[in-house]
Structure 1
Amino acid sequence: MPLSLKNKEFYLITAVALGIMLNPLNTTMISVALTRLQQDFQLTFADLSWIISTYYLASAIGQPVMGKWSDLFGRKRVFITGLLLVALSSCLAPFSPSFGWLIGFRIIQAVGSSALYPAGMGMIRNQITSNQAKALGILSVFSGVSAAFGPTLGGLLLHYGDWPMIFLINFPFILASLLLAWKIFPRDPARTGSPADMDWAGVLFFSITIFMWLFSFMRIQESYSVWMLAGSVLLSFLFYKFELGKDRPFIDVGFLRKNMTVTLIYVQFILMNLVFYSVMFGMPSYLQSVQQLDPQQTGFVMLSIAGFSVLVTPIAGRWIDRSGSKPALLLGGAGVVVGMLLFLLIQGHTHAAMIFVILSVMGISYGFNNLAMQTALYDFVTREETGVATGLFMTSRFIGTILSSSLLAALFGKHITTGHLHSMAWVCAGIGIVVLLLTIRLPGRRRSLMPGA
């Protein structure tokens, strides 16, 4: 019996949602498993940070590449290929003979899951013509919530199994998404280009630049090098000049240059994600190493971030509709500063309930910031600029998460102490103040999104 249009759209959104949740879910589920991985592979926290940073590095590169490939080779084909890559990596990762192999399988997982967001969003935009904004909003919230719930799910999986479970749990989601996509997604049209259309030189240049910054920050604790930092700055400038002269650049720096308000929104989003993921990755290891909580208890404490983020999101949405993005961003930025300063109250003997309350402040601030940053972006871009603006927005998220792993590696080093946690809190509170200052200078008026605006 043929599906009605309403049912077909429901299954289409479900297929895409189950796919795009894999990337954010797998980025944060592993945070609870870091202590077990450290024990199994005999690693320092600085060593462990590579499994986080390489995943985000691959995602930051993979998202725009796979987005371009979905345009060239078909969204259904790229989406299903991404699911198969995630399945392959999730199957092999539990049997990793060494930490290097595990990093390799995680990179494959990152590349595969990076294909799902651009291909899935492109499919939604093409196939759903009515209430499209509502569908995209559901997917956006779904993606953010899955990231926030990752540590809680990871804690439960480690309590009843071990770290391989965080890879095996992917299979129900992969299978459901694969079956629905195979059935519901329309057949791809003929190819419209070739791999030669990709700015491969830009991809390579961007990869080297990001890796140079990553390596510079990762070595801060061991031996700070002014020359390495200067080299990172120089590479960034050269990459900017290189991409500026391209007709079809990998990163549209020309768009950034002519939209300075949007560029500063990206900077703000990078900083927000730096703080959020520093907490998401740093706290589970601290709770297990210093507070001596087991993975399940750790997952429940981390649930405060996800739970309060979900609770405040609809409140934030209604407030933003009435007053615009700026007031919500001011509250979210203030929440970051207050929340990180409250971290200074945490000591080695602090009760888990107290930590839960402190983390709830971060959950509230994330709920306001995450939604308000997205709406702020679209306040200052035209409809024609939406595609490139969204792609750069996701790249900004990944850059922030890469920097978070570098910050944790620099602050935590070989082992984690309460003093190290307090150092993280001071740094992140300072970043929160910068986020507040950027919000204050953000124009309050809403720009029309009509074509040509």
Structure 2
Amino acid sequence: MTDRPADAGGAGDAGFDRRLVPPMILGSVLNPINSTIVAVALVPIGAAFGAPPSQTAWLVSALYLATALGQPIAGRLIDIFGPRRLFLLSTGLVGVAGVVGALAPGLGVVIAARVLLGFGTCAGYPAAMALLRGEADRTGRNSPAGVLTALAVANQTVAVAGPLLGGLLIGLGGWRAVFALNIPLSAVAVTLGALRLPKHPRQPGQPGQPGTGAAARGGTAAQLDLPGMGLFAAMLFSLLLFLMNPRAGTWYLPVITVAAGAGFTVRELRARTPFIDLRVLGGNAPLLATYGRALVAYVVGYAFLYGFTQWTEEGYGLSPFHAGLVQIPMFLVGIAVSVTLGRRGGVVGKLLLGAAGQIAACALMPAVTASSPLWTLLLLAVLFGVPQGANGLALQNSVYFQADPQRIGSSAGLLRTFAYLGSMIASSASAASFGQRASTEGMHHLAWIMLGAGVLYLLITLFDRSLRRLPTGPPGKTGPPGKAGAPHTPSRTKSPSS
């Protein structure tokens, strides 16, 4: 990419390099599209290899595990080495995974392809957030509202549209087409990244000049906290495995989680360049609250996306195609809410609107039965579209303003990790509520769990006074985070012994 800035994109966002937007968005949506597109491929893959649902479920879990582990690690690598290298490497791996999955001779190889997809899609979102922060530093202005909104809308769009796209691809070329889709997507992402992503981070106010952070120095292997990353992986992997199938026989997994967590804490507090700076993160209560909100919000969102949709097929009697169509109102309302709210400053209003939408939708679910008219299902989808559009945008903007500027990549990666923790909890709640079949009684039980999570989300928001200190004006009108009083905590530059 050339080092000259792009022309102004419009009022309030002069100087933002809009050539970065296509690779940013494409890279960030590779993960959500692969998360949901496989939902309609589980049955045909199982039929092709004679595998029961207990085995094909790993096609979902494998990507979640790899992504939850890889997002903060990829984010930290982006903080150190810059977004370009990690973006090109990861999006290239997506293409390899597409080839492996499309040619897989057995279920084990298909699962391996999903693991590769999980790791390959890890860098897109942290890279996009790092690029946004870099442009804010370079131009001395917050990133344009339209760019932040486009990023949120794109991720919401493909997540909801994934099952419909998957059904279309399977109808045209079988389940292998779901994996083959990643080949052209990867090729386009790598090409756009190679042409448009900056080779060197830019210094504020001096387009094209290297910055002063770790990434600007090119990064070194000495800055990698490999022991910390290993302990973090052990802690998160054992926790996620337990959440996937909590039972007495897996009692050792929480023990491993606690032991690895203790070792991770000791390591990070002593490391000169920690993987996750617990001193800074622990002192950044606003960011921790945002992560808590993300976890709870995704418990509600994924329970509806997968649990309620499963009930519409088994309990209500819709075909998979028509069950996917029922989700369309959520998709449309979510986009409309994101676009509308994206033009407005502030975060509190978005969070409260999302909380209200969640509670209203969850409160209505117990009134729905197998004999309810179809319009009640559509009404539920409309109601869930409100938090779908408001929460994603609010959580993303919160991290943008609250995170340590030098660790924006790993902070964005942790946001996705907490989201996938929420999805795992939602999966466990759905399994516990439904048992062997997605009955109406089980759906009602799941609805009460979701309602409890929605109320918790509201309480976390109401009692978080730090939200009032976030910028309230339209993005792009003030200085970038770290220069306009955003409530982040500066990164620690010295070791505890210095």
Q: TM-score range by the shorter chain?
A: 0.7 to 0.9
How big is the shift at 1:106?
0.6
Question: Does the 8 A contact of 2:62 with 2:111 survive in 1?
Answer: yes
Q: TM-score, normalised by structure 2?
A: 0.79
How big is the shift at 1:435?
1.0
Q: 1:100 maps to which residue? A: 108
The DSSP-based 3-state class of the residue aligned with 2:327 is helix
* 1:144 pairs with 2:152: no
* Change over 3 Å in CA distance of 1:251–1:90 after alignment to 2: same
For 1:118 and 1:48, how far apart are their aligned partners in 2?
29
**Residues 65-120 of structure 1, C-alpha deviations (whole Å, 9 max, x = no match):** 33344455564333222222111111221333333322211111111111233344
| Structure 1, 414-423 or 294-303: larger mean CA deviation | 414-423
Q: 1:203 maps to which residue? A: 229
Structure 1 gaps, min length 5: none
* Change over 3 Å in CA distance of 1:406–1:180 after alignment to 2: same
| Structure 1, 101-110 or 29-38: larger mean CA deviation | 29-38
* 1:154 pairs with 2:166: yes
* Change over 3 Å in CA distance of 1:234–1:69 after alignment to 2: closer
* 1:302 pairs with 2:303: no
Residue 446 (structure 1) aligned to one of 459, 469, 480: 469
Residue 416 (structure 1) aligned to one of 426, 430, 438: 438
For 1:124 and 1:259, how far apart are their aligned partners in 2?
21
Q: Which amino acid aligns with 2:325?
A: F
* Change over 3 Å in CA distance of 1:33–1:298 after alignment to 2: farther
| Structure 1, 354-363 or 236-245: larger mean CA deviation | 236-245
For 1:239 and 1:192, how far apart are their aligned partners in 2?
27
Q: 1:368 maps to which residue? A: 390
* 1:61 pairs with 2:73: no
| Structure 1, 246-255 or 151-160: larger mean CA deviation | 151-160
Question: Does the 8 A contact of 1:199 with 1:250 survive in 2?
Answer: yes
For 2:484 and 2:135, how far apart are their aligned partners in 1?
25
How big is the shift at 1:27?
0.8
For 2:245 and 2:341, how far apart are their aligned partners in 1?
39
For 1:245 and 1:385, how far apart are their aligned partners in 2?
18
Question: In the TM superposition, what are the counterparts of 1:38-437 in structure 2 within 5 Å?
Answer: 38-42=46-50, 45-70=53-78, 75-123=83-131, 125-126=133-134, 129-130=138-139, 133-134=143-144, 135-187=147-199, 192-220=218-246, 223=248, 228-229=253-254, 231-318=256-343, 321=345, 324-378=346-400, 380=402, 386=408, 389-437=411-459
The DSSP-based 3-state class of the residue aligned with 2:121 is helix
Q: Which amino acid aligns with 1:81?
A: L
How big is the shift at 1:25?
1.1
For 1:284 and 1:98, how far apart are their aligned partners in 2?
28
For 2:239 and 2:372, how far apart are their aligned partners in 1?
36
| Structure 1, 144-153 or 69-78: larger mean CA deviation | 69-78
Q: Which amino acid aligns with 1:246?
A: A
For 1:42 and 1:348, how far apart are their aligned partners in 2?
31
Question: Does the 8 A contact of 2:355 with 2:458 survive in 1?
Answer: yes
Question: Does the 8 A contact of 1:274 with 1:400 survive in 2?
Answer: yes
For 1:374 and 1:127, how far apart are their aligned partners in 2?
17
Relative to total residues, which structure has the larger helix share, 1 or 2?
1
* Change over 3 Å in CA distance of 1:95–1:161 after alignment to 2: same
The DSSP-based 3-state class of the residue aligned with 1:133 is coil
Structure 2 gaps, min length 5: 10-15, 202-215, 472-480, 486-498
For 2:224 and 2:77, how far apart are their aligned partners in 1?
8
Q: Following superposition, which runs of at least 4 residues in structure 1 exceed 6 angstroms of deviation?
A: none
Q: Which amino acid aligns with 1:426?
A: W
Q: Which amino acid aligns with 1:392?
A: L
* Change over 3 Å in CA distance of 1:159–1:181 after alignment to 2: same
For 1:385 and 1:184, how far apart are their aligned partners in 2?
23
Q: TM-score, normalised by structure 1?
A: 0.86
| Structure 1, 279-288 or 330-339: larger mean CA deviation | 279-288
For 1:12 and 1:447, how far apart are their aligned partners in 2?
26
Question: Does the 8 A contact of 1:383 with 1:451 survive in 2?
Answer: no
How big is the shift at 1:196?
4.9
How big is the shift at 1:32?
2.9
For 2:132 and 2:399, how far apart are their aligned partners in 1?
20
How big is the shift at 1:57?
2.0
The DSSP-based 3-state class of the residue aligned with 2:41 is helix
For 1:123 and 1:330, how far apart are their aligned partners in 2?
29
Question: Does the 8 A contact of 2:73 with 2:413 survive in 1?
Answer: no
For 2:263 and 2:32, how far apart are their aligned partners in 1?
31
- Give the number of aligned pairs: 448
For 2:59 and 2:88, how far apart are their aligned partners in 1?
25
Question: Does the 8 A contact of 1:309 with 1:365 survive in 2?
Answer: yes
